[in-house]
Amino acid sequence: MMTTVVIQTIARVVVPFLQLFGLYIIVHGPVSPGGGFQGGVIVGASMILLALSYDLSSAETKVSHKVRIAMDSTGALLFAGIGLLCLLAGGVFLEYGIIPLPMVPAEVRGLMILLVGVAIGIHIMALAASLFLHLAEEHDT
Amino acid sequence: MDHSPILVVITPFVGAYLSPLLGLWRERLCHLVAVAAALLSLFFSFRLAGSVLTSGTIRYWVGGWEPPWGIELVVDPLSAFMCLTISLVSLLAVIYSKNFIEKELPGGKITSYYTLILLLIGGMLGVVVTGDLFNLFVMTEIFSIAAYALVAISGKRGSFIGSYRYLILASIGTSLILLGTGYLYIITGTLNMADLSVRLPAFYDSWVVFGALAFLLIGFGIKTALFPLHTWLPGAYSIAPAPVTVIFSAVVSKVGGYSLIRVLFTIFGLEFITDLVPVAPALTWVAAATILVASMFAISQRSLMRMLAYSSVAHIGYVVLGVALAVEMGMTGGILHIFNHALATGCLFFCAGAVIYKTGIRHIDDLRGLGGKIPLTMAAFTLAAASKVGIPPTAGFVSKFYLSLGALEAGEWIFVIVILLASLMTAVFYLRVINLIFFGGDKHEGKVQRDELPLSMLVPIIILALGCAVFGIFVGIPLRLVEPAVMVLSGM
Amino acid sequence: MILEFIAVNFPYLVSVSLLLVGLYAMIVRRNLIKKIMGLNILSTSVFLYLISVAYKEGGAPPIRVSEVEVYVNPLPHALVLTGIVVALALTSFALVLTIKIYKEYGTLDSDKLMDL
């Protein structure tokens, strides 16, 4: 693959901003359009940019296969866990308002939507990076 | 408050994501996770069935949001019946997987195998408990994608092409399902099935409703593998690992049939599909064609797996035929056949997998003399084949009997002939195999040792084979759920 | 008359033609990659249909702000978003399969693959 110093430098500058923007979209999910999936895809895309501008192995060292699997599962389990937490608190699945925290129910709901967004974000960023890295690996070997 | 409707779906999904996490640490834990998740699902299915029988249809609002705003899970007798069938077959298939997968799958794939199979199970359970049309689409996609991956997972020659063809055809189907769902949403403003059935009669003369019905029919028709949309099935089924094929043929295509039943009976209603638009009569003919054509193809197959695959296409035809007759006996027979056929075909594919595990044989001609080598497995094969042919007193006989009564009740005696003819054809190709197995001389003298399979493979085979016999005599047990299901569907 | 019909139903007509283009590509085209493109065009046509029915002149995002009167119906957007996620998963999986098929057989022509 052809990469130049220009591409690499720009990528190095852009990647932190991309990731910050992705995280911003994740945490603003409860109050504005956006959320876990959209933000997660942006963060994942930053890893794809790294892989494209440098090479696969440098992206692979940043987030190895095992880390991605762990993130992927943890995100999904966190989401299911929050849903099941509501069952423990006596509500139905994903009934956020019921969780007993020292806040008004609306705030609890907002907080839980944020947590769910973060869980989905973790899940999706690992997934989006994996999709590309695996495809590229398949092609390389 | 009983949380079984959501727990039955969530358990396999949690298992699916727990398994790669534990798989990073110890690979053999994945099997335990999968068995535990499937066992819990079966437990919750039993609880669902129990509470549906005592207190009627269960409605569960996810997130506490009242429908039509939130997603509603609805468990009526039919859903509970499907849940039980799916989780029973899945549990047996997961148990069976242990030895089979360790031998057949190259290293490193065991973790992803269990993740995918749990996603497949969870998706199917999600389809049968949901009361929301869009949720039905999402769950259909989840289990379909898991299914495509499971077809390809063995990496054997042809598996990628089989998976690709399955994917292309099935995703045309799911796109059409989404389009049909969109049509229904646009015209009625709701996605909740109960709500849809209330609001639709006002739009019965609208072309949009006809369009939606046509798209949904074709979409789920592909999923159900009705003739002539069945072409993806034999390729996909014969290549997937045996435990996966068991789940495919026993329940995956039945879940397509279930969605078809839901769309036709719960959303559009009996009157619309029989009187206003004769969809149900048309479906009976499609089903009859499916039965005859698939049986014909089955006779000409040389590979055991492909023969069984075509045979299971034919039996989906029986299910659709019975339900589309839209009379009480026929629907009872059709829905009962979902369970009875799941037992028989599950057992047959388990046996075919056992033969592959033991000897690597895939062709029917090579089966000669295996009856002396693995007698218990082959006896189970014979019993299940008898149930598929419909020899009394096996379970298959009962459902075919109900189907024939239903055809007579509907005044369509031609379908009785179809059922009899197809049973005859089924007998032809199973008798050929059984004849070879027991009386074909011994082709493997000295090559194959006489010993039985590992216990984890033998037990599922025996359970299903016994089920074929037991549920032929104690018909009342499945009928306790089937009869109320028919009542609910036909709106009585 | 016809022009008016086209003007009123423009998004739907585009959606239907995309649907047909997608179906054509998936069924008739022999190249496996083009079949996947057809799959994407097909699902895009469905998304376009859903989005264009949900469009409302001057509607705001459905997050409650006191001075806004007209909101866009969020549900079709949620449907489309879910559909996009599903299409993403399908496409990436289909591409992996295509790579594997190419490695195994050295061709992407579905007719040639059929003979093997």
The pLDDT > 90 percentage for chain C reads 23
Q: Where are the domains of chain A?
A: 5-140
pLDDT at position B138? 92
Between CA C16 and CA B356 the distance in angstroms is 47
pLDDT at position B293? 92
Beta-carbon contacts of residue B164 (< 8 Å; ≥ 6 apart): C32, C94, C97, C98, C101
Between CA B287 and CA B121 the distance in angstroms is 26
Between CA B232 and CA B334 the distance in angstroms is 23
Cα separations in angstroms, B313 against A72, A128, B154, B473: 37, 37, 23, 26
Kindly report the backbone phi and psi dihedral angles of residue B192, in degrees, each rounded to the nearest multiple of 5, phi listed first. Answer: -75, 130
- B391 within some domain: yes
pLDDT of residue B447 exceeding 70, the answer is no
Q: Is A135 close to C81, i.e. CB distance below 8 A?
A: no
pLDDT at position A128? 87
ipTM over 0.90: yes
Angle made by CA atoms B35, B39, B41, in degrees to the nearest 5 = 120
- B164 within some domain: no
Q: Is C61 close to A31, i.e. CB distance below 8 A?
A: no
* Band of pLDDT at residue B450, cut at 50, 70 and 90: low
Residue A81: closest CA among chain B residues belongs to which residue?
Answer: B14
pLDDT at position B39? 94
pLDDT in tens, B36-56: 999 999 999 999 999 999 888
Q: Name every chain C residue with its beta carbon within 8 A of the beta carbon of A135.
A: 92, 95-96, 99
Residue B189: closest CA among chain C residues belongs to which residue?
Answer: C75
User: Looking at residues A85-99, what average pLDDT do you find?
Assistant: 82
Which of A27-41, B92-106, B332-346, C70-84 has the highest mean predicted lDDT (pLDDT)? Answer: B332-346
User: Looking at residues B221-244, what average pLDDT do you find?
Assistant: 86
Sign of CA dihedral B73, B77, B83, B86: negative
Beta-carbon contacts of residue B107 (< 8 Å; ≥ 6 apart): none
- B6 within some domain: no
Average pLDDT, chain B: 88
pLDDT in tens, A16-75: 999 999 999 999 887 777 788 889 999 999 988 888 888 777 777 777 888 888 998 999
As for how many domains chain B has, the answer is 1
What residues are paired with C60 via a beta bridge? C71
C108 shares contact with chain B (CB less than 8 Å): no
How many CB pairs lie under 8 A apart between chains B and C?
71
Between CA B141 and CA B145 the distance in angstroms is 6
Q: Which chains sit next to A, with 3 or more Cβ pairs under 8 A?
A: B, C
- What's the domain range around B481? 278-492
Q: Name every chain A residue with its beta carbon within 8 A of the beta carbon of C99.
A: 135, 138-139
HEC assignment per residue over chain A: CCCCHHHHHHHHHHHHHHHHHHHHHHHCCCCCCCCHHHHHHHHHHHHHHHHHHCCHHHHHHHCCHHHHHHHHHHHHHHHHHHHHHHHHCCCCCCCHHHCCCCCCHHHHHHHHHHHHHHHHHHHHHHHHHHHHHHHHHHHHC
Q: Is C99 close to A139, i.e. CB distance below 8 A?
A: yes
pLDDT of residue B246 exceeding 70, the answer is yes
Optimal mutation site among B119, B134, B142, B161, interface C, most CBs of chain C within 10 A: B161
User: Looking at residues C28-38, what average pLDDT do you find?
Assistant: 90
Other C-beta atoms closer than 10 Å to the C-beta of B26 total: 9
Nearest-neighbour CA in chain C from B135: distance (Å): 10
- B388 within some domain: yes
Angle, helix B29-55 to helix B476-489, in steps of 10 degrees: 60
Nearest-neighbour CA in chain B from A36: distance (Å): 18
User: Looking at residues B255-267, what average pLDDT do you find?
Assistant: 91
- B294 within some domain: yes
Between CA B444 and CA B308 the distance in angstroms is 23
pLDDT at position B37? 94
Q: Is A94 close to B13, i.e. CB distance below 8 A?
A: no
Q: Is C61 close to A33, i.e. CB distance below 8 A?
A: yes
Nearest-neighbour CA in chain A from B122: distance (Å): 13
Domains of chain C: 7-115 (1.10.287.3510)
pLDDT at position C106? 84
- End-to-end alpha carbon distance in chain C: 54
Optimal mutation site among C16, C90, C95, C102, interface B, most CBs of chain B within 10 A: C90
A91 shares contact with chain B (CB less than 8 Å): yes
Beta-carbon contacts of residue B353 (< 8 Å; ≥ 6 apart): B96, B100, B241, B242, B243, B245, B246, B457
The two most distant CA atoms of chain C are separated, in Å, by 66
Q: Name every chain B residue with its beta carbon within 8 A of the beta carbon of C113.
A: 161
C75 shares contact with chain B (CB less than 8 Å): yes
The two most distant CA atoms of chain A are separated, in Å, by 58
How many CB pairs lie under 8 A apart between chains A and C?
18
pLDDT in tens, B171-224: 999 999 999 999 999 888 888 888 888 888 888 888 888 889 999 999 999 998
Q: Is B178 close to C32, i.e. CB distance below 8 A?
A: no
- B344 within some domain: yes
Angle, helix B304-324 to helix B395-409, in steps of 10 degrees: 40
Q: Is B178 close to C46, i.e. CB distance below 8 A?
A: yes
